[in-house]
């Protein structure tokens, strides 16, 4: 599984190809085919990553999860919608759908999950926007990979 993740990561890196201004038309056509092929491979790699449920990466912004997660921490997220009380879940913000939020599950409700930040005074959570629908859950934050002095499993 780790080898697949490394392969997919290497395939999805942005690649820049420089073209000389005096290149012949044949070389330009060949280059265009190469760019299309690499673009296709990168798209396929992203699709397979989602299909295989490979971990996602998120960055923590703000103090709402202190002391568990600090501003600037980077975490791996195991893609799943099955969560339990106490799990740190990553989900789509109900008020700003382009943003992801990390919170702790404090309760399971029929209409979704109840979440709260570890730092209640600085947290916007289920007290503000209600239960989070299960379909909004990306997964469980389980490993901090940066900064280096704080790496390890998240509890």
Contact 56, 74 (CB under 8 A): no
155 tagged catalytic: no
Question: What is the residue extent of each domain of the chain?
Answer: 2-51, 56-153
Can you give the pTM of this predicted structure? Answer: 0.67
User: Considering 39, 64, 128, 155, which one is annotated as catalytic?
Assistant: 64
Cβ neighbours of 53 (radius 10 Å) = 11
User: Considering 32, 98, 103, 155, which one is annotated as catalytic?
Assistant: 103
Alpha-carbon distance of 51 to 148, in angstroms, equals 30
Class of the domain covering 56-153: mainly beta
pLDDT in tens, the chain (155 residues): 555 555 445 544 433 333 333 333 344 555 578 778 887 877 777 677 666 767 788 999 999 999 999 999 999 999 888 899 999 999 999 988 889 999 999 999 888 999 999 999 999 999 999 999 999 999 999 999 999 999 999 97
Cβ neighbours of 49 (radius 10 Å) = 19
Of the candidates 36, 39, 31, the one whose C-alpha atom is nearest the C-alpha of residue 14 is 39
Cβ neighbours of 117 (radius 10 Å) = 24
């Amino acid at each position: 599984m780790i080898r697949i993740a490394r392969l997919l990561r290497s395939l999805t890196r942005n690649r820049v190809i420089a073209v000389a201004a005096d290149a012949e038309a044949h070389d330009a056509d060949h280059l265009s085919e190469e760019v299309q092929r690499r673009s296709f491979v990168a798209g396929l790699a992203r699709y397979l990553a989602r299909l295989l449920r490979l971990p996602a990466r998120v960055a923590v912004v703000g103090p709402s999860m202190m002391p568990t997660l600090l501003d600037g921490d980077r975490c791996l997220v195991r893609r799943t919608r099955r969560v339990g009380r106490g799990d740190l879940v990553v989900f789509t913000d109900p008020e700003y759908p382009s943003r992801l939020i990390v919170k702790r599950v404090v309760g399971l409700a029929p209409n979704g999950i109840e979440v709260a930040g570890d730092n209640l005074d600085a947290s916007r959570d289920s007290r503000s926007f209600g239960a989070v629908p299960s379909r909004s859950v990306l997964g469980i934050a389980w490993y901090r990979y940066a900064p280096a002095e704080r790496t390890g499993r998240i509890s």
